[in-house]
Amino acid sequence: MAKATVNQLEIIKAAVALAGKRTFDHLLYIGDLPLPDEVFRGKPTARKKLVQAVVSEAQRIVVDDTGITVIALPQYDLGRAEKLKLAIISGIARGFYHEGDVVVALLARRPASMPDSLLMVTVGPEDEDGAFGFLQAKGVSAEVLDALIDLAVTIGVEGWEGRPVGALFVAGDSAKVMEHSSPLSLNPFQGYSEDERNLLNPEVRHALRAFAVLDGAFVLRDDGVVLAAGRYLNFAEKDVRVPLGLGARHMAAAGISRDTDAIAIVVSQTSGAVRVFRHGRAVLELAPRIRRT
């Protein structure tokens, strides 16, 4: 097991000391290795505030058995900023973090290394910058949101059968989304039971990756049930704006998220980047550092 260097140990001690103060609400550690027990001696308050975000499925079980709250991260090569965003998003969705909370974050360069960076994040309101507030979409559960973002990152990194593909997922406010859309092709999910088309089913996620090669959007109910694939989204293009260089798929995501209370998640076929849209604008971007082709 890797041991912390002198500098890493000082960073960890500084984070724990900050987390022990009343002005800091949470200690978030992003890394798979356990923190040294010695840094928490005499600091029970800091340990109670600790949440650990890990990549390895096996390590999630180990950390959970120690009584530390665990957040699961996608098993891909994401940068520190992307991992921090995902961990905060998951924490907000699960009710760990709330508007105004101050989070002390310890970040490791790789899952199997000790933390070497310390950041402080204040969870702001949605109308401030949109960075984390988009999670307030009506009814979309934390579990569904996690699975959907993980699937989007997987598609962005791996594509399908070695080919890069793009995708558009629209979750929440599904009745209104269906009213604002029309079929481009036969719905491959028609006629199956809800269990057989729920995003939380691994076989369904595999099917969604395969069907990502189809034109159109996937529409999901707030509980993860896939209602349709290959939907053409109808929206008025007036006042819909996306960053330069982004195409029709991103325009559709911005438009449908503006006209409904849904969250739209886009995978760029060109770059593999994942962007989340809410209220007509991009509120989150995740850019995997390595793309498999």
Domains of the chain (ranges, CATH numbers)? 6-133 (3.40.1380.20), 138-286 (3.40.1700.10)
pLDDT at residue 204 greater than cutoff 90 = yes
What's the pLDDT score for residue 139? 65
Q: CB-based contacts of 278: which residues, under 8 Å, 6+ apart?
A: 130, 133, 134, 137, 257, 263, 264
Task: Report the pLDDT averaged over residues 277-289.
Answer: 83
In tens, the pLDDT along 230-265 reads: 999 998 877 777 777 788 899 999 999 999 999 999
Query: How many Å apart are CA 47 and CA 138, to the nearest integer?
Result: 33
Identify the band that residue 54 occupies on the pLDDT scale cut at 50, 70 and 90.
Answer: very high
In tens, the pLDDT along 62-92 reads: 888 889 999 988 877 778 888 888 888 888 8
Output the DSSP codes for 47-100: HHTEEEEES-HHHHHHHHHTT-EEEE--SS---HHHHHHHHHHHHHHTTS--TT
Identify the band that residue 128 occupies on the pLDDT scale cut at 50, 70 and 90.
Answer: very low
- With 0-12 / 13-18 / 19 or more C-beta atoms within 10 angstroms meaning exposed / middle / buried, residue 62 is middle
Element (H, E) at 147: helix 142-158
53 and 22 in contact (C-beta within 8 Å)?
no
pLDDT at residue 2 greater than cutoff 80 = no
What is the pTM assigned to this prediction?
A: 0.79
Pairwise pLDDT comparison (43 vs 85), residue with the higher score: 43
Q: Which of 119-128, 161-170, 178-187, 216-225 has the lowest mean pLDDT?
A: 119-128
